[in-house]
Structure 1
Amino acid sequence: MVSPKILVVEDEKLLAVDIRNSLNRLGYTVSEITNSGEEAIKKVAEIHPNLVLIDICLSGEFNGVKVAEIIQNNFHIPVLYLTDYSEYKNLHQYYHLREPFSYVLKPFIEKDLHIAVEMALYKHHIKSTSEQEKYSLLAILNHMGSAVVVTDTYGRVQLMNSVAEIITGLRKEEVSGKYIQEVLNIVDKDSGETIANLIFQVMETGTTLPLPDKFTLITKNGGEIPIADNISPVRDEYGNITGTVLVFQDVTERRQIEAQLTRNAFYDGLTALPNRILFLDRLRQALERCKRRLNFHFAVLFLDLDGFKGINDRFGHGMGDDFLVAIARRLESCIRSGDTVARFGGDEFAILLEDIKDVSDATNVAKRIRESLSLPLQLNGYKILTTASIGIALSGNGYEEAGALLRDADSAMYRAKEIGKDGYIIFDPELMES
């Protein structure tokens, strides 16, 4: 059997190579890789692939007509879009992403890619063949990696594939003819949205709806599985809606990848504290609240450990890392749950104290930090002592930018270090100039 030929249209070289390798492992043939919509049209005319996988950013207009429309209408070749999560959040803005299995989310796992390609090829196939061949759908569904549940116009289950049986822990015989809300416990715990509500919305509007981000399936044995995909209307040959098809899959792995990407972007890998990026974002939010609420005050503490280089030199970087982790935990113990302590790198930390009454709240935290650090740390059989120099900047000085407030707290910290370390200084422009 000849493997389907696929044209990949992607301008990120590394991603394009990853896609090609994945497709090859899945048994497809990547005929070409190109990085523009115009070039894609030329390649389609030359090699006539079975499917075009195109990054949505490259699917703009060519001579006033969208690239995908040219490929689909002129060459009768299916198009599958590659899109990132921010575009997925706004699918309703893209008419070409409303149909199920018309896109693949980045970062993808091979199972998602395989399902989307197979369904895109199959949808194209059934549009091109006789009506009788549509009855082979059930056989296809049972070999998909996604769960599929079909309902009638009353929301009663008519069909469920084997993947749905595995994920839910239910058998087709148990659910057939029953209302979907009675047999499938699928709900968004935050909003209270249920699967039955969405099914009737789909039939009322006649459009495909993506499942909400936090939709969770409660399995027969009580387990909770995050799921994603969509619900689409099912139509007869006259265009009348005869029910819906719910397609979903276990996205635990995808959510773990997304969570890891978030942690990498906003949290320090060593101490698990917020990093500079997340701290500055929270600081900007505090500035905005300060502008809206006259009685809202906050403070920034910038902290640098005294003598950390000596600890690293004496005990080694491994012990130095353990030391920084222990310091991070002590700093967390000195603040309230709504405040933020972040690591900026090396031995520099920053603290955001929100909704304080006056400067005494900030100085009291600085004193607690000094007291906490005065207790020796027990690490690998050694007692290690350290102190810290702390600079404090207060919100009441007319700041407009987060960077300026952080800069002044940093300046105050260096002044504290210059005059003897193990202390704190409140930023004062006149003092800094003296």
Structure 2
Amino acid sequence: IYRDITPQKEAEEQLAYTMKELENIKYALDESASVMILDANGTITYINDMYIRYSEYQKEDLLGKYYRDAGLRHDLSELRETIKSGKVWRGELEMWTKHNQLYWVSNTIVPLKDIDGNITYYVSIHNDITEQKALENKLHFEATHDSLTGLPNRAMLLKELNKVIEKGQRKSDEFFALLFLDCDNFKQINDEYGHHIGDEFLKAYTKRLKSCVRKGDRIYRLGGDEFIIILNVTNGREIEQIARRIHVSLQQSWNVRGYCLRTTTTIGVSIYPEDGESAALLLKNADDALYKGKREGKNNYILYQT
């Protein structure tokens, strides 16, 4: 008695081929990404070796735990809402190793469904992008900060000043001052001692400025010897007190690379909202007050007057 088993053999061969193909895919995935599998409740059921290498956790630390216990420390509500609806979630996440070292991942979470369309598992795939994020942050910092002093630059000033103004437009009692500073004899320092001493002086100038302001105040360098300070204040008396303190501090002598330097600073002040409700107008009026101070003999601080 003969029985044709060709279809069965073909099915077995196809199954073996499929299993090998899946094994190859799993191998490729395990060698290129951190993989975690969670059940429908968010409980971790599988972690590959690469995840262990990056996270510094052991498998026993995480198996049976929830996804949020795997090094995530921020709100996951949007992520959960997306995957519970059966959609794929993609995004970047801050992750923390077992020993509290920060790293960044590009994360894709894919819901897997059974034949009836019910979600049974989630596959979470992480790719380490820590170096990429570090480079992005470095480039962003260089684009928005002065390379010599490390202070925010003009681009950052305009961005943040507009934010403060928007906040003021929403709150009728918002009040702040803009201080425009110019070192009166910086050119003389450069001419007499050289630009390398001039650069060191600007670094020392920045350090002293930081010691004069409070935590919520912001200092910017526009270029050369021009600086801007945004003061969070509540009244005109407070503005004068801080401006006077800065003015007095900047008159003290400077020891730069063995040279004893003496210089003064002129400061122009504009106040939001009475001296302007736009960044351009506040800067213009502070600049006008500054040059009025220059005309009146320098080494002073002047509040803008119409």
Deviation at 1:222, TM superposition (A): 4.4
Choose from 85, 90, 112 the match for 1:210. Answer: 90
Cα gap change, 1:185 to 1:381, in 2 (>3 Å): same
Choose from 7, 25, 29 the match for 1:141. Answer: 29
Choose from 261, 270, 274 the match for 2:148. Answer: 270
Deviation at 1:285, TM superposition (A): 2.6
Deviation at 1:182, TM superposition (A): 8.0
The two structures have a TM-score, normalised by structure 2, of: 0.84
Q: Do the aligned residues in 1 keep the contact of 2:176 with 2:233 (CA within 8 Å)? A: yes
Choose from 232, 239, 262 the match for 1:385. Answer: 262
Structure scoring higher RCO (CA < 8 A, sep ≥ 6) equals 2
Deviation at 1:241, TM superposition (A): 3.4
> Which residue of 2 is the match for residue 307 of structure 1?
185
Q: 1:49-107: CA deviations, max 9, x gaps?
A: xxxxxxxxxxxxxxxxxxxxxxxxxxxxxxxxxxxxxxxxxxxxxxxxxxxxxxxxxxx
Choose from 186, 193, 201 the match for 2:71. Answer: 186
Cα gap change, 1:181 to 1:218, in 2 (>3 Å): farther
Alignment of 1:11-410 (within 5 A): 131-132=18-19, 133-144=21-32, 146-170=33-57, 174=60, 178-181=63-66, 184-189=69-74, 191=75, 193=76, 201=81, 204-211=84-91, 213-219=92-98, 221-235=99-113, 241-358=119-236, 360-397=237-274, 399-410=276-287
Flag structure 1 segments of 5+ consecutive residues without an equivalent.
Answer: 1-129, 430-434
- Whole-angstrom distance in 2 between the partners of 1:342 and 1:209: 39
AA in 2 matched with 1:186: G
- Whole-angstrom distance in 1 between the partners of 2:65 and 2:87: 19
Deviation at 1:287, TM superposition (A): 2.5
Deviation at 1:323, TM superposition (A): 0.5
Q: Do the aligned residues in 2 keep the contact of 1:279 with 1:342 (CA within 8 Å)? A: yes
- Whole-angstrom distance in 1 between the partners of 2:108 and 2:208: 46
Q: Once superposed, what is the RMSD of the aligned Cα atoms?
A: 2.7
SS of aligned partner of 2:40: coil
Identity %: 32
SS of aligned partner of 2:31: coil
Flag structure 2 segments of 5+ consecutive residues without an equivalent.
Answer: 1-16
Cα gap change, 1:279 to 1:136, in 2 (>3 Å): same
Q: Do the aligned residues in 1 keep the contact of 2:39 with 2:120 (CA within 8 Å)? A: yes
Q: Do the aligned residues in 2 keep the contact of 1:153 with 1:203 (CA within 8 Å)? A: no
AA in 2 matched with 1:370: H
> Which residue of 2 is the match for residue 44 of structure 1?
none
- Whole-angstrom distance in 2 between the partners of 1:230 and 1:217: 17
Deviation at 1:236, TM superposition (A): 5.3
- Whole-angstrom distance in 2 between the partners of 1:203 and 1:184: 18
The total of aligned residue pairs comes to: 289
Q: Do the aligned residues in 2 keep the contact of 1:202 with 1:232 (CA within 8 Å)? A: no
- Whole-angstrom distance in 2 between the partners of 1:384 and 1:249: 53
Q: Do the aligned residues in 1 keep the contact of 2:180 with 2:228 (CA within 8 Å)? A: yes
Deviation at 1:419, TM superposition (A): 1.6
Q: 1:346-366: CA deviations, max 9, x gaps?
A: 0001111123312x2222222
Q: Do the aligned residues in 1 keep the contact of 2:251 with 2:265 (CA within 8 Å)? A: no
